[in-house]
Structure formats: C-alpha cells, structure tokens
Amino acid sequence: MTYIADDIVCEAPPGRIEGADAYRAFMGPFVEILRGAEMIAAFGDDETALVMYDTATVPVASAPGAEFVTVEDGKIVRSRFVFDRTPFQAAR
C-alpha cells in the first residue's frame, strides 16, 4: 500500500472504490490467491501509466488485467482497472 494515496479512487469491474481502506479490502482477497504475475506491456509518462499484465491465481490459471493509473506526489490517486470477472465467478 506504499504507493496508494489515502484518497485513491479506483474504478473497477465491481464498481467505484474510494479511499485506501476500501482499496485494501478490495485487493486483499486477490493478493491472497495470487501466485504470480507477468507484465505484457507497460507505458507511461510523468503522471500516468498504462499497464497490461497476466496473473496466475489459485482458482484461475491466466487472468489478464489492465490498469490505467494517475500518480500525484509519488502515489496513485486514481486507477481504472479492467479484468474479466467471469472465470473467477465460474471458479466459485
């Protein structure tokens, strides 16, 4: 959470997540099932970054995602997050 701003706003597939506490609650369960990640592509400029990566998780072998983040004062203040929820729901 070092690079997450206290007032982060994250637009993710389940909806809008506001604040570092809510972000931690959203990401925590994912981090627990994460086995590995591989960068597919990463670009950025002084204030923003756009990345795509593949993740390997316990329930889903390949779960790619993409994130567009905005950075202020060295912390992520905004994140737009895209991934397919379908295989995770199917694995439940």
Phi, psi (5° rounding) for residue 23? Answer: -65, -45
Residues of this chain that interact with a copy of itself (CB under 8 A) are 11, 13, 40-44, 48, 50-52, 64-66, 68, 80, 82-86, 89
Q: Measured from the CB atom, is 24 or 70 closer to a copy of itself?
A: 70
Q: Measured from the CB atom, is 18 or 21 closer to a copy of itself?
A: 18
Assess contact for 27 and 20: CB atoms under 8 A.
no
Alpha-carbon distance of 49 to 61, in angstroms, equals 25
Q: Measured from the CB atom, is 1 or 89 closer to a copy of itself?
A: 89
For residue 65, what are the CA distances in angstroms to 46, 50, 74, 75, 80? 22, 11, 22, 20, 11
- Please, what is the minimum distance in Å from the beta carbon of residue 90 to a copy of itself? 10
- Please, what is the minimum distance in Å from the beta carbon of residue 30 to a copy of itself? 15
